Structure 1
Amino acid sequence: MEVEVSAEAKDKRLNRLVAITVVVLSVFMGLCGIKDGNIVQGMQAAQASSVDTWNEYQAARTKQHIAEATRAEIALLATDPAKAAPVLAGYDRDIAKYAAEAPKLAADAKAQSDAYDALNVHDDQFDASDAAISTAISVAAVAALAEAGWLLGVAWVFGAFGMFMGLCGFFGWGFHPAVLSGLLG
């Protein structure tokens, strides 16, 4: 008994649909990858700026604390208040400068942190898009191998979700897959 194995697929229409699906999803995923890379660079810059600004804030608060302690020591130990007055006035200026500087630095650092968080939402959207489209391409390949049209339908569902998430990232839409991000994050 001989078994004839055919290298040709029975359903060429299914294979064409799989091929078109893979091409469309791959191109879309590539474009999303470029945009996501730019977002990640923006996130890195925002985080670095936030860390730097928080460090400046901490330095200003430390300098203020040192100036206040030094001023109090000089005022307490000064034997001649007239000689100590100009030195104390200098410390008063420094203390006022640091006291005014610190809240602005804290606000700037918080703004950079908020910018990072806003960009992270879009990064999560692109990550979800990438995961869904990768799954769609894999399922589409299995659909071609198994010659099962219903599997191609499953691939299209994953692909549609992936494209939706990619479009959310591109256009700045607020949809965030919190459950998915929490599960995978």
Structure 2
Amino acid sequence: MHPPTTETPVPETGKERLNSLIAITVAVLAALMGITKVKDDNIVQAMQQAKINAVDTWGEYQAKKLKHHLAEHSLTQLDALQLIAPTNSVSQFAALRQGYEAKIVRYEIEERELMAKARGFEAEYDKLNYRDDQFDLSDAALSVALCVLATASLANRRWLLVLAWVFGAIGIIMAIAGFLRLNLHPDWLVNILS
């Protein structure tokens, strides 16, 4: 039996310590990027569905609007025909008029409902887009942080590590804002990048 050996830890040099901090930071930021990527992709899918629903609903609205105009035009034609029709057909014209008027009322109601529904889908899209922007900004800041970390490792500069932490912190803050649905959205930056 050999007595247990105790190894004394070798003190890290400045470069080794810097590279250890860089490696830990890269691991944390890369893991966060993976998580935020999944969430961002899910938001993009929901945005696409909201846009599809809005476009479909506006198409349905346009179809109702067209039917509405056709019914109004049919009423005008019915009035013109009634002027030249024999007097014994008044009851038939009245029944046709009543049918067209009922359709017009129904179309007006359906148009309002479809318009409200389409605007609801557009509002949902805008709400999702706001959150998508947050995750996009998080991804951008985290990517910059990773690039700066690579440079810090190659150049052996601690100030670059600190700069990477600043970008990483911005990325983390934007990710938290996206997950918690916080009202944090630098519009000026989004407008520049959009």
Specify the TM-score bucket, using the shorter chain as the normaliser: over 0.9
| Equivalent in the alignment of 2:168 | 159
1:83 to 2:92 alignment:
yes
Letter in 2 for 1:73: Q
User: In the aligned structure 2, how far is the partner of 1:117 from the partner of 1:51?
Assistant: 14
Give the greater-gyration-radius structure (CA). Answer: 2
- Size of the aligned set, in residue pairs, is 177
1:76 Cα offset (Å) = 2.1
CA-based RMSD of the aligned residues comes to: 1.1
Letter in 2 for 1:133: L
Gaps of 5+ in 1: 1-8
Q: TM-score, normalised by structure 1?
A: 0.93
Mean Cα deviation higher: 54-63 or 112-121? 54-63
Gaps of 5+ in 2: 1-12
Task: Give identity over the alignment, percent.
Answer: 45
Deviations 1:144-182 (A, max 9, x none): 110000000000000000010011111111111211111
Q: Which consecutive aligned stretches of 4+ in structure 1 deviate over 6 angstroms post-superposition? A: none
| Equivalent in the alignment of 2:101 | 92
1:43 corresponds, among 43, 47, 60, to 47
| Equivalent in the alignment of 2:76 | 72
Alignment of 1:75-154 (within 5 A): 75-78=79-82, 79=85, 80-154=89-163
Alignment of 1:14-29 (within 5 A): 14-29=18-33
Query: Secondary structure at 2:185's aligned position in 1?
Result: coil
Mean Cα deviation higher: 52-61 or 16-25? 52-61
Q: TM-score, normalised by structure 2?
A: 0.89
1:58 to 2:71 alignment:
no
Letter in 2 for 1:59: A
Deviations 1:59-117 (A, max 9, x none): 11110011011111112212132221111111111111101110111011001000000
1:58 Cα offset (Å) = 1.0
1:10 Cα offset (Å) = 5.8
1:34 to 2:38 alignment:
yes
User: In the aligned structure 2, how far is the partner of 1:74 from the partner of 1:81?
Assistant: 11
